[in-house]
Structure 1
Amino acid sequence: MKHIGSGGDGGPAVTPALLWVVLAGAASGLAWLGPTLATLPAAVVLYSLWTGALLLLVFRFHGGWMDRTAVILGGAVALRLLFLPTVPDLSVDPFRYLWDGVLSASGLNPYRFAPSDPELVHLHDTVLFREMNSRDFHSIYPPLSQWIFLLGGLSWERFGWPGAFLVMKTGMTVLELAGVTALLAAARIWGVRPGWVALYALNPLAVVTVAGGGHSEGGLVLGLGVLAWGLARGRGGHAVAAGITAWAGLGLAVISKGIPVVGVPLLLIHHLRGVGWRGTAVRAILGGVPALVLSLPFMASGLPRGALASADLYVSLFEFNAALLAPVRAALEVMPGGSALEAGRLLRWVFLALATMVILRHPLASGRQVMGAYLLLQGLYLVTATTVHPWYLLWALPLVPLVTAYRGAWLWASWAAFPTYLVYTGVPMAPLSLLFWGGIALLAFTAAWPWIRRRLLPLAGWRKARQIQSFIPDRGLVLDLGAGEGWVGSALAREEGRQVMAADVEPFLRCDLPYFVFDGRSLPLRDGAVDTVVLSLVLHHASDPDALLREALRVARGRVIITESTYRWEWERWALERVDRWVNRERSPDAQRWARAPLTFRRVDQWVQAVERGGGKVLLSRRLNRVGHRHHLLMVEPATRHGPRP
């Protein structure tokens, strides 16, 4: 087991035991604080310590207690028991939850009336009505959440506030812990390290949101956990039962929060491609029974139009920690006929367009691919949403342990969401939002960089080829020496009458070109074997650039075209070395090789001298760009001209 900080530095070793103490201490302190708005600055510090300890335990220590299912589940229960007695004031949503529960306990459909309606005037003197917001809006909370609200409503007459609140959030926490159990079962089937599940089970955002704040995401976590468990069991003799389980889980998630409905087309396509229409219908219909049964008592008279209208207003009017709302609103204000009020609706259409692309193009063959697509859809929804409260992260966070893609961005979000509560203490939203979305953007870009790079490399090759195209004869044989993936040579080969072959020290080629591997010093070609040699950003990588340059001049009957990253000042060379190692380390699976690889950056005059020493003559020396590193072109010909190529 690896210990951090132990050894000769004299500092204390960071051990799992120490981190568990930090985690437990920070959690206890946070529970003691409430957390409440009055104690929020201190709460953010403790929340951060808790998050840091959890991440170190999961990412640095493998094979210990953190990988024992009993420890994870026991820790999840203990942390939630710590927060169940608390009464935070970070959100007024629980007052609305209990209001709905009181209506249900009184025999009224909670969807039928808005709280401000005169039919409910007998409840207007309660603390629930005084403390809730959005009194003119109908309830939008789905049926599974309403059943848990009912628990609080039934205890309202006896316990009042906050007793009924504690009863209600206990019910939410039980559902959430059942979801954690299902996630652990799914992880075991998929061979996922149990410690990864701790990223949700012991996450402070999850604990503070459900067990502390009583938010209605508890049922959603149960649904997502059952969905993951069903997908994990999807192969073998239990395929039908597993499929029914997956649909049941998705149904429970939808009737808990609504937003997981984006997973319906993903699961539908997954099963259609695997078992066809009939098998999919059986699984979906039987799996939907639990959600239908739980919903019918609230839907017997039909879902009131007011609830649907309220949902539309929630999306359009409310705003908190939005990523794109401000720039979209500003753009609409300056457009002829544009209205800033349409920003929310426009962002919804943007989400629908992006979601359609994901649904149609994302791989969905395996259960974990379905999970990955679901996380991507939830991420897109949050990016385009007008309101992103901290508890919204729980719409996706339970599945983050099971999917590696963008895990860092989701974990950052789970930490950076909590400080956004500071806006209620007078801190401006802008820096808090920048912290939240800026970190997400950076980590998401880092995770997506390999995918982005694979698509940028052909474009970069085309750009490099265009820079030297006019210096290469239209006809003849061109050797792309140090070709890498071959994108430069491939672009040059588009010229009719020009033949291109590629060479490098390893088989990196990804293009359809004649190709050979050599030792980096001597080419297996006779003198004057090719008409033109291209060395595009190659020489500084060569173990012996002078020897490679001599070989290029030897085999070239006509010109040698050299492009190089050059420098004038020492700080430029320092920067070139570090950027080059980073870029090329990302291009190769052997990161250590690139860390040790030689780099020989030179000034322009030094490359000219190397050409002359190698038996060449510089015909043209030109900088290829005006901004950025000094990208320089040397057009060279051998001092001794070879005869015509046979």
Structure 2
Amino acid sequence: DDDMRWRGEATRAARMNNPEMHTIYLPVSQWVFGAIGKTLSPAGDPARAERRFRLAFVLFEMIGIGLVLLALTRAGRSPWWATLYAWHPLALIEIAGSGHQDAIGLPLLVAGLLLASAKPERCRRWVWAIAAAALIKPFVVPAAAFVLRRSPPAAWGRALVIGIVVTGALGAPLLLSAGGAPVENLRATSERFALKWAHFGSVYEPLLTAIEWRTPAWGNDPQEQLARGICLLAFLIAGIIIWIRSRDAWRGMSALLLAMILLSPTAHPWYLLWALILLPMTRSRAVWVASLTLPWGYVVLADPVDWTVPAGVMVAAYVPIYAALLLDVGPGRPGRGDPSRTIAA
């Protein structure tokens, strides 16, 4: 207890999963955590600190909702579309309830797409937001590629330079501190996640089962690596197809985020928040259905020994998502207009 920095930390630490692992929160998240922490007393009540953090995350989320309202207004659409996210139980539970730090990045992603809508070539207006969001969750980086899809190579070059400058300014002071130990800690934890973490993956779970059935072994590390490699390859192919076929950055990024969840070994419900906050602009059937069925993966909490989800739950959750996805990519899908061009007008 002598090494604990606040009252009750030892009790909380004893209940933590994998306490030997370092967290992988990236620099922008760490800056925000530090700023919130400055408002708290080290000897204060942990429950009060938790509420303070959740309140801060809700404020970030509200900024994101405000930006969505602005995007809808500029596109000439009803602001009521914003309720698809603002009043959604998933958003309320995962941010206000569970306090997931993804809320910090949501307004940055929306701001980047909104600022880029009028003139994507003016990289200084929007790249900073995408770069900052990428230092919360790196999967936001492709948003820049969707924005620049029809732009000349010079714009790509400017965006790359600005992105490097912004990420360097925000990330280097933290990542290069303590002799580079944060980079090594990040690498070690990320490697563990990449090799072993899995939950409710719609493609990964049945694929791994099939591979293990075909090539049984005492240890399943090779089978897991093969299944993850196939999912990664499928995601890269899907990403290229989405980029080629996307009509605008909003829908393109939304589709890519959904593909990431469907093809990832780990599909936690809060991962979907990044696509869900774009839903008022994209009106994706698949994202909407996923927001209703993906949380069914929480039935894993009923099996605290093996942490498994019954196959029937996976079928019930994912069949409607893939059915809605077929409707999205087929003829007659909603919102055929280009929201970015509408905003620009």
The alignment's TM-score, normalised by the length of structure 2, stands at 0.81
Which residue number in structure 2 is paired with residue 213 of structure 1? 98
* Structure 1 residue 162, shift from structure 2 partner: 1.4
Kept in 2, the 8 Å contact 1:151–1:168? The answer is no
Q: Give the SS at the match of 1:169.
A: helix
1:305 aligns with 2:189: no
Which residue number in structure 1 is paired with residue 300 of structure 2? 423
Kept in 1, the 8 Å contact 2:285–2:327? The answer is no
* Structure 1 residue 451, shift from structure 2 partner: 8.3
Aligned with 2:287 (options 410, 422, 437)? 410
Kept in 2, the 8 Å contact 1:409–1:443? The answer is yes
Which residue number in structure 2 is paired with residue 390 of structure 1? 269
Which residue number in structure 2 is paired with residue 376 of structure 1? 255
Aligned with 1:259 (options 129, 134, 139)? 139
Question: 1: distance between equivalents of 2:142 and 2:260?
Answer: 10
Identify which of structures 1 and 2 has the higher relative contact order when contacts are C-alpha pairs closer than 8 Å and 6+ apart: 2
| Equivalences for residues 319-330 of structure 1 within 5 A | 319-330=198-209
Aligned with 2:34 (options 150, 166, 169)? 150
Q: Give the SS at the match of 1:320.
A: coil
Question: 2: distance between equivalents of 1:131 and 1:189?
Answer: 48
Which residue number in structure 2 is paired with residue 64 of structure 1? none
Q: 1:177/1:292 Cα in 2 relative to 1: closer, same or farther (>3 Å)?
A: farther
Cα deviation, 1:63-86, whole Å, max 9, x if unaligned, reads xxxxxxxxxxxxxxxxxxxxxxxx
| Equivalences for residues 91-490 of structure 1 within 5 A | 122-123=3-4, 126-151=10-35, 153-154=37-38, 155=40, 157-234=42-119, 240=122, 243-267=123-147, 269-270=148-149, 273-274=150-151, 276-286=152-162, 290-301=166-177, 302=180, 303-335=182-214, 339-342=222-225, 343-359=227-243, 361-363=244-246, 369-404=248-283, 407-426=284-303, 428-450=309-331
Question: 2: distance between equivalents of 1:134 and 1:127?
Answer: 15
Letter in 2 for 1:143: P
* Structure 1 residue 288, shift from structure 2 partner: 6.0
Q: 1:304/1:287 Cα in 2 relative to 1: closer, same or farther (>3 Å)?
A: closer
Letter in 1 for 2:16: M
Kept in 1, the 8 Å contact 2:58–2:95? The answer is yes
Most deviating of 162-171 and 149-158: 149-158
- Please report the RMSD computed on the Cα atoms of aligned residues, expressed in angstroms: 2.9
Cα deviation, 1:293-351, whole Å, max 9, x if unaligned, reads 33233123345223123213213312211101222113322446994222223322321
Letter in 2 for 1:331: A
Q: Give the SS at the match of 1:136.
A: coil
Letter in 1 for 2:47: P
Letter in 1 for 2:281: L
Q: Give the SS at the match of 2:201.
A: coil
* Structure 1 residue 419, shift from structure 2 partner: 3.4
* Structure 1 residue 284, shift from structure 2 partner: 4.8
Q: 1:328/1:266 Cα in 2 relative to 1: closer, same or farther (>3 Å)?
A: same
Kept in 2, the 8 Å contact 1:228–1:371? The answer is yes
Cα deviation, 1:167-222, whole Å, max 9, x if unaligned, reads 11222222221121112112222223211122112212112211221101111211
Q: Give the SS at the match of 1:319.
A: coil
Question: 2: distance between equivalents of 1:134 and 1:345?
Answer: 25
| Greater strand share, structure number | 1
Question: 2: distance between equivalents of 1:128 and 1:290?
Answer: 36
Letter in 1 for 2:235: F
Q: 1:420/1:336 Cα in 2 relative to 1: closer, same or farther (>3 Å)?
A: closer
Q: 1:313/1:264 Cα in 2 relative to 1: closer, same or farther (>3 Å)?
A: farther
Letter in 2 for 1:374: M
Question: 1: distance between equivalents of 2:65 and 2:324?
Answer: 26
Q: Give the SS at the match of 1:396.
A: helix
Question: 1: distance between equivalents of 2:246 and 2:325?
Answer: 19
Letter in 2 for 1:261: V
Letter in 2 for 1:277: P
Q: Give the SS at the match of 1:137.
A: coil
Kept in 2, the 8 Å contact 1:144–1:255? The answer is yes
Q: Give 5+ residue unaligned stretches, structure 1.
A: 1-119, 453-646
* Structure 1 residue 392, shift from structure 2 partner: 0.8
Runs of 4+ residues deviating >6 angstroms: none
* Structure 1 residue 446, shift from structure 2 partner: 2.7
Which residue number in structure 2 is paired with residue 50 of structure 1? none
Cα deviation, 1:270-297, whole Å, max 9, x if unaligned, reads 2xx33x3334444554466554433233
The alignment's TM-score, normalised by the length of structure 1, stands at 0.45
Q: 1:428/1:348 Cα in 2 relative to 1: closer, same or farther (>3 Å)?
A: closer
Q: Give the SS at the match of 2:21.
A: coil
Kept in 2, the 8 Å contact 1:254–1:260? The answer is yes
Question: 2: distance between equivalents of 1:184 and 1:292?
Answer: 31
Kept in 2, the 8 Å contact 1:247–1:288? The answer is no
Q: 1:286/1:446 Cα in 2 relative to 1: closer, same or farther (>3 Å)?
A: closer
| Equivalences for residues 625-644 of structure 1 within 5 A | none
* Structure 1 residue 385, shift from structure 2 partner: 0.8
Question: 2: distance between equivalents of 1:178 and 1:288?
Answer: 25
Question: 2: distance between equivalents of 1:395 and 1:429?
Answer: 27
Kept in 2, the 8 Å contact 1:183–1:225? The answer is yes
Q: Give the SS at the match of 1:138.
A: coil
Q: Give 5+ residue unaligned stretches, structure 2.
A: 334-345
Q: 1:413/1:398 Cα in 2 relative to 1: closer, same or farther (>3 Å)?
A: same
* Structure 1 residue 424, shift from structure 2 partner: 0.8
Q: Which has the larger radius of gyration?
A: 1
